[in-house]
Amino acid sequence: MKKIASKNQIKEWKKLQMGKYRKKYGLFLAEGIRCVEQILQNGLVEVMAVLTDGSDALQLINVKTVPVYELLAEDFAAISDTQTPQGVIAVCRMPVEVTPDELIQNDGVIVALDAIQDPGNLGTIIRNAAWFGAKALVFGTGCVDPFHPKVVRSTAGATGSLPYLNGSLNQFFNQFENYGWRTYLLDAGEEAHELSTIKPESKSIIVAGNEANGIQHSLFQPFRKRVKITGKTTHVESLNAAMAMGISLYSFTRTLD
């Protein structure tokens, strides 16, 4: 049975559009039929409530034990982050960050992101990382909030499917490299090695940089390997960060498997 939301609940849900309130309450919004359905199906993120505008969208999603609230169209639109809402939003609890100690003894591929600012790019990278079985995500300083509604929507339901942490990439790399992890920096420079020639270590960190400026200079060290993906640069200047990370993840995980 659908519930009627109070004015106070609606007010609190609206606030989740802003990062400071997402952080304060530990909640985020996931919008759209596909995104909400995948999050519910994964069962990896706690869904506190499902909001609907009274349309037929909810009939396409299997909602069992989660409270469902039917909102007036204007209230739903105020909470929604899209111009053409699909009629369903999930209010979700943020997964707790892991600590470096929980990851450092493992192996596999970790995705590290340096100041990725485009929500669509970050969401696509998270989705790719989940698809290719990355072990964790590291969001460096300057990254857009991974729980921003546009990022969550771009993950198509992959939000919360991988362990994650936030912090200084320099500190993270230095700590992990002391435990045998090898860092690979996606870079189009002349000194970079072609991706197809790379034989990744069993403990590998792939780094993608800011869309406009690339990876910050301080992260380039002689013991870290620069990696490039060659293409028809006469037609296109470069790949975007999400595409480059997707190709790299395919290459690394296929090799390690």
pLDDT tens digits along 8-30: 999 999 999 999 999 999 999 99
Quickly state the pLDDT bin for 120 (edges 50, 70, 90): very high
Least confident of 86-95, 135-144, 157-166, 188-197: 188-197
pLDDT tens digits along 194-244: 999 999 999 999 999 999 999 999 999 999 999 999 887 767 777 899 999
Residues 89 and 106 placed together within one structural domain of the fold: no
Provide the percentage of residues in the chain whose pLDDT is more than 90.
Answer: 83
**What per-residue confidence (pLDDT) applies to 100?**
96
Domain count, the chain: 2
The residue ranking higher by pLDDT, 176 or 58, is: 176
Residues 12 and 84 placed together within one structural domain of the fold: yes
Q: 166: domain range?
A: 100-256
Question: What CATH number has the domain bearing residue 60?
Answer: 3.30.1330.30
Question: What CATH number has the domain bearing residue 210?
Answer: 3.40.1280.10
Task: Please report where in the chains the tokens 């975007």 appear, as a residue.
Answer: 240
Residues 33 and 109 placed together within one structural domain of the fold: no
Q: Token pair of 17, please?
A: 């559009």
Total residues found in the chain within this entry? 257
CB environment 37-62: b (16+ within 10 A), e (fewer): bbbbeeeebebebbbbbeeebbeebe
Least confident of 64-68, 157-161, 176-180: 64-68
Boundary of a domain, candidates 93, 116, 142: 93
Instruction: Report the alpha-carbon distance of residue 111 to residue 207 in Å, rounded.
Output: 6
Cα 214–Cα 128–Cα 87 angle in degrees, nearest 5: 110
Residues 236 and 140 placed together within one structural domain of the fold: yes
Residues 203 and 241 placed together within one structural domain of the fold: yes
Rounded to whole angstroms, what are the CA distances from 238 to 144, 154, 206, 241?
A: 22, 22, 18, 9
CB environment 218-235: b (16+ within 10 A), e (fewer): ebeeeebbbbbbeeeeee
Q: In 146-200, where do the E strands start and end?
A: 164-167, 182-186, 193-194
Q: Token pair of 6, please?
A: 């109070």
pLDDT tens digits along 73-117: 999 999 999 988 899 999 999 999 999 999 999 999 999 999 999
Residues 241 and 191 placed together within one structural domain of the fold: yes
**What per-residue confidence (pLDDT) applies to 1?**
64
Residues 76 and 111 placed together within one structural domain of the fold: no
Boundary of a domain, candidates 37, 61, 93: 93
**What per-residue confidence (pLDDT) applies to 60?**
62
Residues 84 and 105 placed together within one structural domain of the fold: no
Residues 227 and 120 placed together within one structural domain of the fold: yes
Read off the pTM.
0.94
Residues 105 and 86 placed together within one structural domain of the fold: no
Boundary of a domain, candidates 62, 93, 124: 93
Residues 33 and 114 placed together within one structural domain of the fold: no
**What per-residue confidence (pLDDT) applies to 190?**
84
**What per-residue confidence (pLDDT) applies to 255?**
80
Quickly state the pLDDT bin for 174 (edges 50, 70, 90): very high
Residues 126 and 214 placed together within one structural domain of the fold: yes
Cα 167–Cα 173–Cα 174 angle in degrees, nearest 5: 110
Least confident of 12-21, 61-70, 119-128: 61-70
Average pLDDT, the chain: 93
Look up residue 181 and give its DSSP letter: -
